[in-house]
Amino acid sequence: MRVLQALLILAAITSSMVFAQEPPPARVVISKIAFQEVAQNRSFIGTLYYDRISHVSSEVPGLVTRINVRTGDRITNGTPLVHLNTEILEKEILIHQNQIEQADLLISHSKKNYERMESLFKKGGIREKDYDDANFVYQEALLKKLAAETRLEKLLIQKRKSIIHAPFDGIILDKNVDSGDWVQQGKPLISIGSVNDLYISVPVAETLLKFISLGQSVPVSINAYDKELTGTIDTLSPIADEKTKNVFLKIRIPMLTKVAQNMSATVFISTGTKGKLAIIPRDALLKFQGKDAVYTIKQEKAILLPVNIVTYLGDSIGADNEHFTEGMPVVVDGNERLRQDQAVVIVGEH
**241-253: per-residue pLDDT in tens?**
999 999 999 999 9
Say if 24-49+197-349 and 87-161 have the same CATH topology. Answer: no
| Amino acid letter, residue 131 | Y
Taking residues 307-336, what's their average pLDDT? 92
Burial class (CB in 10 A: 0-12, 13-18, 19+), 12: exposed
Nearest-angstrom CA–CA distance, 267 and 47: 10
Domain boundaries, the chain: 24-49+197-349, 55-84+163-194, 87-161
Candidate CATH numbers 3.40.50.1820, 2.40.50.100, 3.40.50.720, 2.60.120.620; the one for domain 55-84+163-194: 2.40.50.100
Taking residues 36-52, what's their average pLDDT? 91
Nearest-angstrom CA–CA distance, 67 and 60: 16
pLDDT at 1: 54
Nearest-angstrom CA–CA distance, 170 and 71: 11
% the chain with pLDDT above 90? 70
pLDDT at 8: 53
- List the single range of 21-25, 268-272, 316-320, 334-338 with lowest mean pLDDT: 21-25
Predicted confidence (pLDDT) at residue 19 exceeds the cutoff of 70: no
Taking residues 135-148, what's their average pLDDT? 92
Q: Of 50, 259, 323, give the one whose Cα is nearest residue 168.
A: 50
Taking residues 198-223, what's their average pLDDT? 92
Task: State in words which class domain 24-49+197-349 has.
Answer: mainly beta
Predicted confidence (pLDDT) at residue 7 exceeds the cutoff of 70: no
Q: What does the DSSP 8-state code read for residue 24?
A: P
Fold classification of 87-161 is Helix Hairpins (1.10.287)
